[in-house]
Each structure stands twice: as structure tokens, then as C-alpha cells.
Amino acid sequence: MTSHTGTAADAGTWRLGDLTVNRLGFGAMRLTGSAAFDLGAPSDRERSITVLRRAVELGVDHIDTAAFYFSALRSANELINRALAPYPDDLVIATKVWPGRDPSGRWWWATPEQLRGQVEENLRQLGRDHLDVVNLRIPKRRATGSIAGHFGALAALRQAGLIRHLGISNATPEHLAEAQAIAPVVCVQNPYGVGAPAGDQEFLRDCGERGVAFVPFFAIAGAGREAGAGATHDDRVLAVARAHGATPAQVLLAWTLHQGPHVLAIPGTGDPAHLADNVAAGALRLSAEEVARLSATG
């Protein structure tokens, strides 16, 4: 495939509540520096702004961000505000709360009562009077615990008009059931990619049956997580990439989108060329045999 053609619309659309988005979106984490959450290496401000504006030009209408995405001198939310405000009517900005970082970069976790402050921080930085989607980012220590207190607090903020739609992140099927009993859930945002265990694949399918979007993060980075993808890739990924004249990252994104019509991708980059490649992946169609080969574990 030609690496720098196509728009985000090539991947098709899905609805987050009453908001329709292209399934190929953009993650803002890498806009702030070469390494996520690195207070020592700020990104090039103008290049980050260029990437955001170019993403919208390429049809991206779903941007994932957080107030805790910041490095020395750079804040993802403030870059989004600077680059894109006044915002296009069809642009959906999703953020996440529960974790936070103080000015020194140290992490902290909000109580239910502190979530309003985190929501207002996102509103202030983005220059919005409401947030389109807020994901409750669940800490690993709550993997088997209740999220009712925190999700209920977000549901109240939704009722108050500060939030339009709610999602959950780092979630389990039990979390989803608990949250849906409190308020509508439009998306589940979890780590997912080639090699994901069977339980994660089952949860992805269950979300589709419930009409809930599944939004994988680290679809390209995989085990590299915040550090990004490594230089080596699975031989199967490389073989499919060669067959299509595509990059391994494009194949990983295409495979992700092939997992179901409710699956959204939010690859992030601070590089305009990588952005174009990522968006072009929305037009890459893999055969059923290629999807199955990449899905096989072991």
C-alpha cells in the first residue's frame, strides 16, 4: 500500500453514544516529549501543533488525552487547545481521570470527591465547558475491587452537564457490569494487540455484543507500553507487512481494526510522517487468513 494516502474515514465509523467518530483516531500521549511522562525532554511545540492540525485534516475526529499527559514545558491538553480551538463541531475529545500527577510529576490517585477537580482541570486546559467522553482509569490494585464510588461520582458530573459520555479504562468484565448498572458506558479502553490472551479477546467480543466501543491502547507498542514499540517485530507481522508493502505498525493497526466494527484505534505520535502512516493503516484490508495467522497465539 502507499504509505501516505488515505484519511481516517477509510476505517469506517462507530458511535460513542450520540457522537459518531471515525474508527481511526489519535492518542495525544506522545505529543509532549520523546518519552511519555519525561520531565527532562520537552517536545518541539510547533511540530506537535502541526501534528494535531494535520490529524484533523486527515479526518481524525476522535482524540484521546489526559491532564496527566505532560512533560517539561508541554501539556497535551494545552497543545490540543492551542492547535485546534475553536474546535470543529465533529471533533470528539476523550480524556481520563482517577490518576493524576502533581507539578513534580509524582503520581497520585483521586478520591471520588476529588474527581470533579480533575474533570475541571481538563475543562480548563482544553478550554471547554463540557467533556465529550471521560474514561475512569482504574488502578491495577482495583482489578478485583468495586469502582462504584468513583464511577458514581462521574455519573453525577454527567448529570450535572460537565460530561457527555462515560467510559472505563483498564477494566474487567466485572467492572463493566458494575458501571453499566450505574450509568451508560460508551467505551472500554484497555491494552490490547497481537498476542493478547484469550480472556482479553473474549472481553472485546462481549463489548461488541453490548454495543460498547472497545478502544485498545498500546496496539503498536505492545509490551513496550509507554516506551513505544521496539525495533523487532513478530515474523508473522513482518510477512504480512511485506505482502502489502506496509509497515509493521500499519499491519498491527489494521489487525486491531479487523477485530470488530466496534473497535477503535488511537495510535499516538509526535511525528507528522508517522501520523500519515498510521492514518493510512485504516485503508489496509487484511485477508481472513492473515487475520487468523496474526491472531494465533504461541
Q: Which residues are catalytic?
A: 69
SS (H, E, C) 8-31: HHHHCEEEECCEEEECECEECHHH
Q: Is 289 left (phi over 0), alpha (psi -120 to 50) or beta?
A: alpha
224 burial (CB, 10 Å; 0-12 / 13-18 / 19+) is: exposed
Find the radius of gyration of the CA atoms of the chain.
Answer: 18
Q: Residue 272 and residue 32: Cα distance in Å, rounded? A: 14
Residue 158 near residue 183 (C-beta atoms within 8 A): yes
**Residues 6 or more apart whose Cβ sits within 8 Å of residue 288:** none
Helix, coil or strand: residue 4: coil
